[in-house]
Amino acid sequence: MSKGTYYVTTPIYYPSSKLHIGHTYTTVAADAIARYKRVTGYDVMFLTGTDEHGQKIQNVAKEKGQHPKEYLDVIVDEIKKLWETMEISYDYFIRTTDEDHKRRVAEMFKILYDKGDIYKGEYEGLYCTPCESFWTDSQLKDGKCPDCGRAVQVTKEEAYFFKLSKYQDRLLELFESQPDILEPKSRINEMINNFIKPGLEDLCVSRSTFDWGIPVPLDEKHVIYVWLDALSNYITALGYPEIKDGNFAKYWPADVHLVGKEIVRFHTIIWFSILMALEIPVPKKVFGHGWILLEGGKMSKSVGNIVDPVVLINRYGVDALKYFLLREYTFGQDGLFTNEVLLNRINADLANDLGNLVSRTVSMVEKYREGIVPKSGSATAFDEDLIQVATAASQLVDRRLDNLDFSGALEEIWKVVRRTNKYIDETMPWALAKDEANASTLDTVLYNLIEGIRIISVLIQPFLFHTSRKIWTQLNISEGELTAWDTSASFGVYPVGTTVQKGEALFPRIEIKAELEALEELSRQQMAAAQGSAPKAEEKKEIAPIKPEITIDDFAKVDLRVAKVVAAKVHPSADKLLILTLKVGNEERQVVSGIAKHFSPESLIGKEVILVANLKPVKLRGELSQGMILAATSGEQLALVTADLEDGSQVS
Ligand code: ME8
């Protein structure tokens, strides 16, 4: 039975084809909390989307000679693809260009207008075009936009206004009576002292100097100005103004809006006032998280560090990147990103602590008990503490996640990981195995280790989806009763007599020095490519010349097969090469491929690639290569050609 509903949102993103890991931070956090709520029995609605109107987008599309929608469709697809790669488990993706959203925002505008909370006037103000924000004199920083630091222009136009000033007292009262509504707490003082107390001015909610927006009902030379359009996505996605039935009735008010700290002002002062004017409840919480920064400033100007999430996922896997983001940084604070902190975190927590624990334990059960998990026998002096730490963890994780303390929640889980590793050192199973008289104690140790790992695997599910599944495969259990969240508070659930089986390393150890050099080189190439090859709109795209014609018979000589990568490692004497073991039907092949710069060996395991199966074998730097795999290249970029079909299948 459902424990209730849970509605979590990310901001809707400005369309950009190059989202960096800073952008993914809000979404990764929302994904973890959504997954956590689902495994703990909630009916979850997780909303994300794109914020597609405004002058800036109209200008960019015009420069490219495209209609804004045509330009946006491609970018929005790229964003969706990124979320797919990152396995973001959203339930609904809203675009502000969706017809439903546009119609509902227009209806909402009319409700506010009819009520007198929107009126027509004339605006003269200081406008920052890139931020699409009007500012008052007192809000400027050194005469420039306080958000982006760029110059502002005096702008005068006929416009519609929302009566923000009317809600000043109610806002103050809300913040004072419900201080939990905005976190971290420090941000409340900022809102009260910097914005509410100095006095709120009415908010300009329409523009007439551009037309890429939702038309104002009955006055179509105006379009609705972006924040009213953007913020309302959180309710139009639920069907507002239909509030009696459906998703609005079910999910509103939102449990939490997760936003970056720079947009807290919009999500509290402006959004809460709009909701008050619409006479619907405000969200239960807004959480303003910190920024992930690079030394010397912004992510987009990165040199030396790789901030492209796709590159990082190809090299280390999606679980490692998500874990890193949530574990390394305290959610409410800013943090510094470097490749080195990323690699150190992966090695220390994932390869060493968790990976070694699983591989050591399963190996010992295989070695000492032929893989069959024994029933506990004689007790050791360390069992009680292990059991206590392991079974207490889920409650501690619950408490941390209720406060959106992702890093703290992972730290609680890692206390169990470290406690279980320590249990191995304390009980020394390899010493117990030397003497048959200790067989019963060894049984206890092996059982407790496996059960400890089961509990860890249950707790990591919301953060490390694949890793939990990989552990279940090694422990030979499937998703269900044995992996349910509540079972992590009980010890002794793992069925005695089950046969475990060692798998690939969960997180292969990274050679930090070599990997840092590889990342730096990659970053240099990316920068060079970005500077040198950005094609201008009117330029024709250059492609490699097409080779001389062949007949169908020539082509038929090539035997292409789907092949599954079952093992991969770096070539011992050439770090640009990977040695892949491919399964092709009943046969296994070794193929040497020059793709080490683009893929880590572990990220390839399980991929179904296309093999030229009848290519004459050759030796590459001393290693036999029986065929080659197909890849597409564009400048520095490389993509493997893959097929979601059984290995051995013919490609023609
Ligand atoms: O603000 N570190 O969209 P957006 C952490 N469309 N978070 C970061 C970050 C970094 N380096 N860079 C970006 C918008 N973000 C509006 C929202 S909502 C009704 C409209 C976060 O694409 C940023 O803080 O500029 C925000 O939460 C999200 O990425 C989207 O930013």
Q: What is the DSSP letter of 14?
A: P
CA distance 47 to 12: 9
260 alpha carbon – ligand 1 mean position (Å): 6
In the prediction, which pLDDT does 532 show? 66
| Nearest atom of ligand 1 to the alpha carbon of 293 | 11
If you take atom 10 of ligand 1, which residue's CA is the nearest one? 22
520 alpha carbon – ligand 1 mean position (Å): 26
| Nearest atom of ligand 1 to the alpha carbon of 267 | 19
CA distance 222 to 409: 48
Place of tokens 């509410």: 196
If you take atom 21 of ligand 1, which residue's CA is the nearest one? 23
| Mutate which of 8, 24, 25 for ligand 1 pocket (most atoms within 8 A of beta carbon) | 25
In the prediction, which pLDDT does 633 show? 81
12 alpha carbon – ligand 1 mean position (Å): 8
In the prediction, which pLDDT does 589 show? 94
Task: Check whether the bond before 253 is cis (ω within 30° of 0).
Answer: yes
CA distance 57 to 591: 47
In the prediction, which pLDDT does 341 show? 96
Q: What is the DSSP letter of 482?
A: G
Strands 215-216 and 206-207: unpaired
In angstroms, the Cα distances linking 299 to 123, 296, 309, 390 are 35, 9, 12, 39
109 alpha carbon – ligand 1 mean position (Å): 25
CA distance 542 to 547: 15
SS3 397: helix
**CB contact at 8 A, 19 and 309:** yes
In the prediction, which pLDDT does 383 show? 98
| Mutate which of 18, 26, 228, 298 for ligand 1 pocket (most atoms within 8 A of beta carbon) | 26
Q: Which residues contact 523 (CB under 8 A, 6 or more apart)?
A: 302, 303, 304, 305, 306
Cα–Cα nearest to 182, from 37, 36, 289: 289
CA distance 405 to 330: 7
| Nearest atom of ligand 1 to the alpha carbon of 299 | 11
**CB contact at 8 A, 239 and 162:** no
CA distance 524 to 397: 41
**331 CB burial (10 A radius; 0-12, 13-18, 19+):** buried
At residue 154, what is the residue type?
V
CA distance 455 to 491: 8
In the prediction, which pLDDT does 247 show? 97
Cα–Cα nearest to 500, from 468, 477, 467: 477
**CB contact at 8 A, 579 and 623:** yes
CA distance 322 to 329: 11
Residues with CB under 6 A from ligand 1: 11-14, 22-23, 25-26, 51, 230-231, 233, 259-260, 262-263, 291-292, 299
In angstroms, the Cα distances linking 57 to 64, 70, 148 are 11, 11, 17
Q: Which residues of the chain are under the pLDDT cut of 50? A: 534-540
CA distance 129 to 315: 38
User: The tokens of 78 are what?
Assistant: 């790229």
Question: What is the residue-wise DSSP string for 414-449?
Answer: HHHHHHHHHHHHHH-HHHHTT-GGGHHHHHHHHHHH
User: The tokens of 645 are what?
Assistant: 């079909």
CA distance 249 to 105: 18
154 alpha carbon – ligand 1 mean position (Å): 26
Run of H or E residues at 44: strand 43-50
In the prediction, which pLDDT does 178 show? 95
